[in-house]
Structure 1
Amino acid sequence: MTRDTRTTEAQAKRSPLDVVLLLTLATLWGASYTFIRLSVVTIPPLTLIAARTLIAGSLLAAWMTMRGISIPREPALWRRFFVQAMLNSVVPFTLIAWAERSVEAGLATILNSASPVFAFVATWLITKHEHVPPRKLFGVAIGLAGICLIVGTSVLSGLGNQAIPQLAIVAASVCYAGAAIYGRSFHGLPPAVPAAGSMLLGAALLIPASLTFDHPWTLHPSMSSLGALLALSVFSTAAAFVIYFRLVQTLGSVGTTAQAYLRVPIGVALSMMFLGESLAPTAWIGLICVVAGVAAMTMPHRTKNTA
């Protein structure tokens, strides 16, 4: 059986449920920026992310137990979980939460959607094994142009209050790109294992920092912030990962990456509906550029079947 035949058969097995789950995943991850924006009103970023990783990691560990997936004990594997935690949760989650104290959720959604662009650039420059067709080069160029359109105006005005938080979100996108590349080293493990392990390690790192700097016992978070934190942890983190694991098996990695550009308009729409936000004209153009760039880089290449 040829590779093309296997791909065609896999595509034929896709069900309408897969499409619904893909849209659900894009909505959950798109909504995370709105949840963060609501949470950081009365919960400091370190405490917010410590709670997010602890709740999500605990739920994922419980889900693994129910599925009969054992938690590994090898120290070498947990050292790799540590690297993944730094790249995929501790640093980027905290940067985004800190930035969203001043950056609107819609802009955060757009800026953070550029992770596939940075992942491709890093893979191309570091591993040097990535084929570079014109479509992918176009995707990189237009995606980076979109980021410059969003961030560039405030940078040119003298590093205003928005520029540094926006650049922090771009830095978080670079971390996510590194996490995607490093995450390939977990091949052969059930996807829930590195997800739960890195989340729990992230919580172990962030809780002492929260206790030291935020003194959470002195905080008085609002009910809306607590509700947003709970939704962020349960739905946009733990549940989203479970859906992701399912889609990787049914749609494959290429099909699942469709959420990378589906979540952008969804996240922006949610921020406008529930937070009353609006985008500047340059941000709208940047949105179009980023979505087009990520789509150009992640859509599967069609090849003709040969007899």
Structure 2
Amino acid sequence: MQNRSFEYALLGCLALLWGSSYMWIGLALETFPPATLMAIRVVLASAVLLLIMTFQGMGLPMDRRSWWLFFTQSLLNSTGPWLLLAWGQQYAGTAVSSVLNSTSPLWVFALSYLVLRRGQFPGGRQLTGALLGFTGVVLIIGVGALDSLGQNLVPQLAVFFSAALYGMAALRGQLFKGLPPIVPATGTLVCSSLVLVPLSLLTEEPWTLSPNAVGWTSTIVLGLACTALAFLIYFRLLSTLGAMGTASQAYLRAGVGVFLGVMFLSERLDMETFAGICLAILGVILINWPKSSSAVKSTTAVK
């Protein structure tokens, strides 16, 4: 059996990168408006990945079908959910938004029965893991976050739908299986740039801004680490751990936020939060637990 410990380490790294992105976004938003920040983020990430591809002697495919796949993936994986989150979180509240945005593994589970073939459906163990992980996120963020559920309904639905888009992206991203991860990562981010740069220019007049050093530093980290590197890991994991396994990093992101708070902000870890972290980790383990050889043979027979 293939040793997947390296893939699990990459899953933790992806959760760390995307979990820490909220901190970098918060710092950068002090000097950059949302659309401009996202535009710089994807342009910087695209430029770095294109440079790497050039040095490796690689190129992006030029056929219409590939670019349609890249563009659709960008709407599901970056442009669409980022814009929905940027708008919805302003009115829905950070806590409830974090809970709603962590439902992407549940969306993957539900949508799998619509888009996958029989024999590829996730099983009961993965559903149990998804539910345990979600419960863990609720405990980490605080059960009180659910008190405002139903208030500001439209913004909350926007955040909820952003998680659905992430779920669709994880399932649809498996269409790129067989390609080097840098190819779909670069193509997707280039397409996001083509949408976000004009949006920034039309709505926020970025040429009038005077960002400070903290804003620029946060934006650069966001573009290089939390976008370029994270997208490389993401598309690799879609090929190795699958859609459910990759989406499970959503449960680890909440724990990353707590870890950063304890390490750098001297925050305390209470029992409810600790229990939530344990449940989130258990959920991720169940989702990613390898199938037994007998189960694999049974699935092969069904096909």
TM-score when normalising by structure 2: 0.76
| Deviation (angstroms), 1:56 | 0.6
Instruction: Tell me, yes or no, if structure 1 residue 71 matches structure 2 residue 63.
Output: no
Counterpart-to-counterpart distance in 2, 1:301 and 1:101: 42
Using the aligned pairs only, state the percent identity: 35
Instruction: Tell me, yes or no, if structure 1 residue 48 matches structure 2 residue 48.
Output: no
Equivalent of residue 173 in structure 1, options 163, 169, 187: 163
Counterpart-to-counterpart distance in 1, 2:277 and 2:97: 11
**Unpaired stretches in structure 2, ≥5 consecutive residues:** 296-303
Q: Conserved in 1, the CA contact under 8 Å of 2:45 and 2:189? A: yes
Amino acid in the other structure paired with 2:77: N
CA deviation map 1:81-128 (0-9, x unaligned): 110110011012233344565788787666544322211211124436
When residues 248 and 172 of structure 1 are mapped into structure 2, their CA distance, relative to the original with a 3 A threshold, is closer
Q: Conserved in 2, the CA contact under 8 Å of 1:82 and 1:198? A: yes
Instruction: Tell me, yes or no, if structure 1 residue 213 matches structure 2 residue 213.
Output: no
| Deviation (angstroms), 1:234 | 0.6
1:3 corresponds to: none
CA deviation map 1:220-275 (0-9, x unaligned): 333222211110101111123345567778xx326974755444312332255556
Aligned-residue RMSD, C-alpha: 3.9
2:241 corresponds to: 253
Amino acid in the other structure paired with 1:208: P
Alignment of 1:13-32 (within 5 A): 23-32=12-21
Counterpart-to-counterpart distance in 2, 1:272 and 1:39: 22
When residues 76 and 304 of structure 1 are mapped into structure 2, their CA distance, relative to the original with a 3 A threshold, is closer
SS across alignment from 2:178: coil
1:11 corresponds to: 3
Alignment of 1:150-229 (within 5 A): 151-155=145-149, 159=151, 167-229=157-219
When residues 286 and 246 of structure 1 are mapped into structure 2, their CA distance, relative to the original with a 3 A threshold, is closer
| Deviation (angstroms), 1:282 | 8.0
CA deviation map 1:115-155 (0-9, x unaligned): 22211211124436343533233234445556775753112
Counterpart-to-counterpart distance in 2, 1:42 and 1:167: 28
When residues 46 and 150 of structure 1 are mapped into structure 2, their CA distance, relative to the original with a 3 A threshold, is farther
When residues 88 and 243 of structure 1 are mapped into structure 2, their CA distance, relative to the original with a 3 A threshold, is closer
Counterpart-to-counterpart distance in 2, 1:271 and 1:164: 30
| Deviation (angstroms), 1:23 | 4.4
Instruction: Tell me, yes or no, if structure 1 residue 60 matches structure 2 residue 49.
Output: yes
Counterpart-to-counterpart distance in 1, 2:284 and 2:9: 21
SS across alignment from 1:11: coil
1:33 corresponds to: 22
Q: Conserved in 2, the CA contact under 8 Å of 1:29 and 1:236? A: yes
TM-score when normalising by structure 1: 0.76
Q: Conserved in 1, the CA contact under 8 Å of 2:18 and 2:226? A: yes
Counterpart-to-counterpart distance in 1, 2:197 and 2:259: 33
**Unpaired stretches in structure 1, ≥5 consecutive residues:** 1-7
Amino acid in the other structure paired with 2:112: T
When residues 91 and 291 of structure 1 are mapped into structure 2, their CA distance, relative to the original with a 3 A threshold, is farther
Counterpart-to-counterpart distance in 1, 2:191 and 2:30: 26
When residues 244 and 76 of structure 1 are mapped into structure 2, their CA distance, relative to the original with a 3 A threshold, is closer
Number of residues of Structure 1 aligned to a counterpart in Structure 2: 289
